[in-house]
Structure 1
C-alpha cells in the first residue's frame, strides 16, 4: 500500500488543560502538527475532494474537540484526538500527532509529545 501523507502544521488552539488548579481556570495555547497517512493516488487522478482526506474537516474537528475538552494531561487529549480522527476519517490508515504546550515551562520554547496510531 502506498503511504502518502497529508499534513497539518502549527494548528493553534486554546484549551483548558493541566493538573494544577490555576491551569483549570485559564485557557492555554496548544499547537498541533498532524501527519495523516493515506493513499492519494485516486485523488490525484480524479481531482475530486471525495477521494481524499479533507484537512479542513480534520482541523475543524481537532479545534472543536480540543476547545470542548477538560483534560489534566496532554497525553489524554492527544489520544482522544487520534481516536476521533481514525474513527471519522476512513481514508486515514495511521497518523502521527505532535502536541506542543508552549507556555508550560518558561525556560523552554515548548514541551509536548509525539504519538503514532494506526488502524
Structure 2
C-alpha cells in the first residue's frame, strides 16, 4: 500500500496546524451565498402590511475576494454565514421599512460594515404581496460594493 492509498485518518487534521498564508500560496476567490432565509417581518407601503406583518425571503451573496480559508480551513478566515443570517434577521425585524429597496440597502450596508467582503448582493422577496393581480412573488435586489484589497 502506497502512502496515497492509505485510508484517511481524522487525526491527520489538527486545528492547531499553522499555515502561513503569506507564503507564495495563491488564495482562491470565494463567493458565499445564503438562499431562502425566511423571516416574519413588518414592512410594506400600507399600515396593514406593517401592522399585521408578512414573511420575506432573503437571498444573499458575498464576494469575499481572495479567501484565507481556502488554505487554512479555518471558519474565522471566511464569512460566517450563520452570523450573516443573525445580522439580516436583526436588521429586518428591528424596524419597519415602507419599501424593500430601503430595507435591502440597509441590510447590504450593515453587512458590508460588519464583514470583510468586497461586494454584497441582497434580494428580498414577498411571496404573497398584497396586490390585486395574481403573482407568485415580488422582489428587490440591491448590489453594493465595499472595501477593496
Fold shared per TM-score above 0.5: yes
Q: Map of 1:1-119 to 2, 5 A cutoff?
A: 3-39=29-65, 41-89=67-115, 91-104=116-129, 105=131, 107-119=134-146
CA shift, 1:27, in A, is: 1.6
Aligned length: 118
CA RMSD of aligned residues (A): 1.6
CA shift, 1:2, in A, is: 5.7
Instruction: Write the distance in 2 (CA, Å) between the matches of 1:2 and 1:44.
Output: 6
| Equivalent residue number for residue 18 of structure 2 | none
CA shift, 1:118, in A, is: 0.5
Give me the TM-score of the superposition, normalised by structure 1: 0.91
Contact 2:125–2:139 (CA<8 Å) still a contact in 1? Answer: yes
Aligned partner of residue 67 in structure 1, secondary structure: helix
Instruction: Write the distance in 2 (CA, Å) between the matches of 1:2 and 1:47.
Output: 12
Aligned partner of residue 125 in structure 2, secondary structure: strand
Contact 1:17–1:72 (CA<8 Å) still a contact in 2? Answer: yes
Q: Which runs of 5+ in 2 are unaligned?
A: 1-26
Q: Which runs of 5+ in 1 are unaligned?
A: none
Which structure is larger by alpha-carbon Rg, 1 or 2? 2
Q: Which has the higher contact order (CA 8 A, sep 6+)?
A: 1
Instruction: Write the distance in 1 (CA, Å) between the matches of 2:105 and 2:96.
Output: 13
